[in-house]
Amino acid sequence: MTEGTARESPGSRARTTGVVYFLYFLTAVPAQILVGRKLVVYGEAVNTVAFLFYIALTLLFYSMFRPVNRVLSLVAALFSLAGCAIGLLGNFHLAPHNLKPLWFFGPYCLLIGILILRSTFLPQLLGWLMVLAGLGWLAFLSPPVARHWSVPIEIVGIVAEASLMFWLMVKGVNEERWKQQAGVGRASII
């Protein structure tokens, strides 16, 4: 961590996290559109950039939620990084076909939701939305569920993640509560 980053306020870091989340959306959505229009090579190139943004987002979230629960934040980050690795390998046709990034992103969203619920510096509603998104992404892995419920699951996931993204960009976190939790959070592991 650079000296400038160490002095950055929790609110500024939260807004940076929101901006990186926004950049992820700005690249992930066009990537899916390109792949859907049979422009696979372009879609995979843009999707690679999206995964790089998501890796940065994962590290930012780890830092944000470490005061809430270091172990849970680390487990969440590992799930996300594993999903990114599978997705990146898939872009280069190196991932096993039966291994899906959603297997990792579902638990990641679920854990981020739990961390938000345990935090004192973000609204509980955002936590519940992320828990629903995580459960939805996991349910999406069942072919019958995906066939019949894919649109509602995708809507819930997008609404949850977009709500968190916009909240972080506009409001950030309650800095006083983040600092209080950071002081107490280091002493408790679970």
Per-residue HEC secondary structure of the chain comes to: CCHHHHHCCHHHHHHHHHHHHHHHHHHHHHHHHHHHCCCHHHHHHHHHHHHHHHHHHHHHHHHHHCCCCHHHHHHHHHHHHHHHHHHHHHHCCCCCCCCCCHHHHHHHHHHHHHHHHHCCCCCHHHHHHHHHHHHHHHHCCCHHHHHHHHHHHHHHHHHHHHHHHHHHHHCCCCHHHHHHHHHHHCCCCC
User: Which pLDDT band, with edges at 50, 70 and 90, does 3 fall under?
Assistant: very low
Within a domain: 128? yes
% of the chain with per-residue pLDDT over 70: 93
187 has a pLDDT exceeding 60: no
Of the listed ranges 13-17, 97-101, 104-108, the least confidently predicted one is 97-101
137 has a pLDDT exceeding 50: yes
Predicted TM-score (pTM) of the model is: 0.87
Check residue 189 and give its pLDDT: 44
Within a domain: 15? yes
User: Which pLDDT band, with edges at 50, 70 and 90, does 88 fall under?
Assistant: very high
Within a domain: 49? yes
pLDDT digits (tens, 9 = 90+) for 153-185: 889 999 999 999 999 999 999 999 999 998 844
Between these two residues, 83 and 31, which has the higher pLDDT value?
83
Within a domain: 1? no
Within a domain: 3? no
Within a domain: 122? yes
Indicate the number of domains in the chain.
Answer: 1
Question: Containing domain of residue 52, as a range?
Answer: 9-185
Within a domain: 113? yes
Within a domain: 103? yes
